[in-house]
Chains A and B, each alone.
Chain A
Amino acid sequence: MLSLKNLWVEYGDKIVLERISLDIAEGSFVSIIGPSGAGKSSLLRVILGQERPTRGTITLDGAPLPAECGPDRGVVFQRYSVFPHLTVLGNTLLGLEFAQSPFTARLFGAQRRAAVGEAEAMLASVGLGDSLHLYPAQMSGGMQQRLAIAQALIKRPRILLLDEPFGALDPGIRADMHGLITRLWREHGLTIIMVTHDIKEAFSLGTRVLTLDKRRHDPHAPHRYGAAVVYDLALRKSVDEAGITIDANHNNGHE
């Protein structure tokens, strides 16, 4: 569905990513891991449309992806994903309001009631049904990330991008969130691309794990070589979820 062809990302003369070519199938859950500074977040920002690749193309179902963020791609960041000045309900309604009311970005009457109903259902499904009128500052980090997920999902995005979404949460909450995201991924038939530092998380959630790292290294000019996909593992989750079996190992090291 999503196809990246020969993608390069450079900042000035610093090459961050080089020769990234990927095809991401609909309904997959792709985890991206790699050392710090390997361009994981850059790759995510390029897919999101927040940044433009220096070279290469990204296509969604064959059509080139506009290099601007839009409602076809939802996102949850590690922080600052929710708006501090809106309540839980207001944060969730926002996506519907932008779509249905381009001028005032607010809804009234029956339209609003319908939107509120939809938002409440979405919030109930992420476990925030009782917190509709709280402000983000009154909630824990885990609740804020639940809200960020609900806020993104109400737009029914084709692709959901997660940038270390659970990185700031403590382990117990993180396990709950893993359960939640897996359930939502199945229920909504989402395609998810997640950047994470946590290798265990990458393998337990993903159906495919990409590792970004520098393939070559010039000790005199370390910035002149960018990171590429050094491992690309497809995982097959067994039905009882007892374990993970690695299905294929097409290490696309040197094409």
Chain B
Amino acid sequence: MRWVNRRPGRGTAFLLGAVPLAVLGLTYIIASAARHAANPADKILPLPGAMAQAMALLVFEADPLSGEYLFWADTAASLWRLGVGLGIATISTLLVGLVLGVLPPVRATLGPLVTAIAVVPPIALLPILFIVFGLGETAKVALIVVGVTPFMIRDVAGHVAALPREQVVKALTLGANSWGVMLRVALPQAMPRLIQALRLSLGPAWVFLISAEAIAADVGLGYRIFLVRRYLAMDVILPYVAWIAVLAVVIDFALTQSSRRLFGWAHGTAH
């Protein structure tokens, strides 16, 4: 059978997907064991046991200085920043993207501005944000917002503007005005695309979050990674990176599922 026609079943696909992950894990363990055989005090590739030990301190034991469970405090702080940043980005995308997509005069007025903002590398704006908003939470949230919103707006506005002209004409012949077209034709059809844009923005959002935390923070996943880097503490850095990956996958999965559940018509599923 030709390879383009081979479709693995659910179980097979799961197994096939698990193989590279297992290989990666195994390769690490072998490399780590080899390094430790040569130098038992090696810090670069810690053994799983050492990682578990280091993480147990952060996960289960309160920090004697602050009395906080650092791992959970870091997670909560980072997720809060990410959530607020993406929430603001999503809401502004919906408002601006919809108006931009539906109303040609608004598109002519604001389109170039959004494009101009979108091409500025957000990290270059980080010093400005720190100067304007100080070193607190606002600057970190603002970086995420500035970083992902222009892309999301362009994506959603483009999608709305590309809806078949026939749909707008049809709505007008059904008695709609511009508001009606926006509310009943453009908005519902923009929603699945908005979730899609949000999923694609998750990666950049994490980048901006970790960058902001690395530069100025006192708690957060990115802050911790860059803090323990000074001690070459790979036994903390690697589990933190893995934890960020897990969080990202869970958020992505939740978004996909909610889109399927709420906007089944856009996914071609039975209802």
Partner-B contacts on A (CB < 8 A): 48, 50, 68-71, 73-75, 77, 79-86, 94-95, 97-99, 102-105, 133, 135, 137-138, 148, 151-152, 155, 157
* Cβ-defined partner of A105 (8 Å) among B170, B180, B189: B180
One of B40-48, B213-221, B238-246, B260-268 contacting the partner? B260-268
Is residue B136 within 8 Å, beta carbon to beta carbon, of the partner chain? Answer: no
* Cβ-defined partner of A75 (8 Å) among B169, B175, B179, B184: B169
**Nearest residue, chain B, Cβ from A69:** B172
Interface size on B, residues (CB 8 A): 26
Q: Mostly helix, strand, loop or mixed at chain B's interface?
A: helix
Indicate if the CB atoms of A84 and B189 lie closer than 8 Å. Answer: yes
Q: Mostly helix, strand, loop or mixed at chain A's interface?
A: loop
The digit string for B162-194, where 1 denotes a CB below 8 A from any CB of A, is 001011011111111101100111001100000
A–B Cβ pairs within 8 angstroms, 26 of them: A50-B169, A69-B172, A71-B175, A77-B166, A77-B169, A80-B164, A81-B170, A83-B170, A84-B189, A84-B266, A85-B266, A94-B174, A97-B184, A98-B174, A98-B175, A103-B179, A104-B183, A105-B176, A105-B180, A105-B183, A135-B265, A135-B271, A138-B271, A152-B170, A152-B173, A157-B173
Indicate if the CB atoms of A69 and B265 lie closer than 8 Å. Answer: no
- Chain A residues with CB under 8 A of B171: 94, 98
- Chain A residues with CB under 8 A of B176: 98, 105
Q: Measured between alpha carbons, how far is A83 from B167 in the docked complex, in Å?
A: 7
Chain A min CB distance to B162 (Å): 12
* Cβ-defined partner of B184 (8 Å) among A71, A80, A94, A151: A94
* Cβ-defined partner of B166 (8 Å) among A71, A79, A105: A79
Q: Measured between alpha carbons, how far is A233 from B263 in the docked complex, in Å?
A: 49
Chain A min CB distance to B87 (Å): 24
**Nearest residue, chain B, Cβ from A101:** B180
Indicate if the CB atoms of B173 and A75 lie closer than 8 Å. Answer: yes
